[in-house]
A = this chain, B = another copy of it.
Amino acid sequence: MAEGASVGRRVEELTTPAFLVDLAKVKTNCANMLATCKTIGVSLRAQTKTHKTIECAVLQTGESKSGLVTSTLEEAEFYARHGFDDILYGYPLIPHHMPRVIALTRQLKKFHVMVDSQLAVDTLKDTPTPGKPWSVFLKVDCGNKRAGVWWEDEAGVDMALQLHNAPNITFVGVYVHCGNTYGASEPKEVLQIQEDTLERLLKFVDRLKQRGVTCTTVGTGSTPSCRQPSDNMKNLTEIHPGNYTFLDVQQWSLGSCSQEDIACCVATRVIGHYPHRNQMLIDCGFVGLTKQGYGHMDTGYGVFRGHPNLKLCAMTQDIGFVEPLEGQLDYEQYPIGSLLYILPWHSCATAALYPVYHVVEGDTVLAEWRPTRGW
């Protein structure tokens, strides 16, 4: 279908698989997160990696178009081109990024980078600025064990001091991702991880303070923790979740949301009946869903909305294999050509497969959102 051609059409007219976004739900999810921030008294620096669209970032920022964090330079450039500002490239900086960092620093009022290595600190110190100082966050690892200086190590304090003292750098503060909440087995554990992360982070901030370094910004995030905010989050200045826009079965399983809050799904059609093996095939394979999540759901690679007895038991590139969890498949209920809707395990991974999202209200396509791609 040509660009824009699906607007005003019914979902049943779309080519499948199609990635559907429920506009009312996304709006609610975005408004709720802004309300949460207001209640806690922190800013929202919205992570854009789940959707990578202009329209959804407008909703995330309450139409201010200010205050984003991206995980790719491509996204930062995309949002900068479309009038957004106060953008953090929330990814470990390496020298190779510098030409694009220079251009973004020049282009935006506020463009920030994030460092977690001495090489990155040295690179910034040694690179002439384009008219204004580099604005820099220090990434701290408080237990997530991905990027960041380990919170207990002296190396992190030393880097913060260097950033603070460098004449061409504005040290903004510290930045933590508590992605380890995704490993939680129950909501209570999400809260505990969050508490531990914040306690460690605030201890680190105190150590900086004792050395005369003030963090104007102290941020942490992850959708599981930000959808269940704890009391001590009021000690932060900002949070930076992203998945809360669309949500998914993973968030549902972590207690971050109900099934009804999930704002995206994959529309797929039945393409064949194979009663001799109690199966049917659908036109959604791994290029339409990803294979992530298998083993976490009784229903295979996803959850069929409204059909809890269906299991997506296997996928090849463009074909999904569907079986009943129990009994015989009722083929009359699923005629060839009929539509089914799959809630994805991980919406970030599924959305990344689609060049266009169909934004719907009920069965009607209201808009097409076109994400940016690449790095």
Q: Which of B72, B146, B318, B353 contacts A49 (CB 8 A)?
A: B318
Give the size category of A's interface with B: 35 or more
- Closest-CB distance, A354 to chain B (whole angstroms): 8
A91 at the interface (CB under 8 A from B): yes
For the complex, give the distance between the alpha carbons of A45 and B319 in Å: 21
A94-122: which have CB < 8 Å to B? 94-96, 116-117, 119
CB nearest neighbor in B for A319: B146
Scan residues 275-325 of chain A and give those whose CB is less than 8 A from a CB of chain B.
Answer: 276-277, 281, 283, 286-288, 290-292, 316-319, 321
Copies of this chain: 2
Return the contact of A336 from the options B94, B374, B375 (Cβ within 8 A): B94
Residues facing B in A229-284 (CB within 8 A) are 269, 271-274, 276-277, 281, 283
**Residue interface mask A143-157, B partner, CB < 8 A = 1:** 001110010010000
Contact B96 A269 (CB under 8 A): yes
User: Is A147 a contact partner of B272 (Cβ separation < 8 A)?
Assistant: yes
Give, as a whole number of angstroms, the nearest-CB distance from A68 to chain B. 16
Near B by CB (< 8 A), chain A positions 28-84 give 49, 71-73
User: In the complex the two chains form, is A352's CB within 8 Å of B349's CB?
Assistant: no
5 contacts between A and B (CB under 8 A): A15-B374, A49-B317, A96-B269, A119-B336, A286-B349
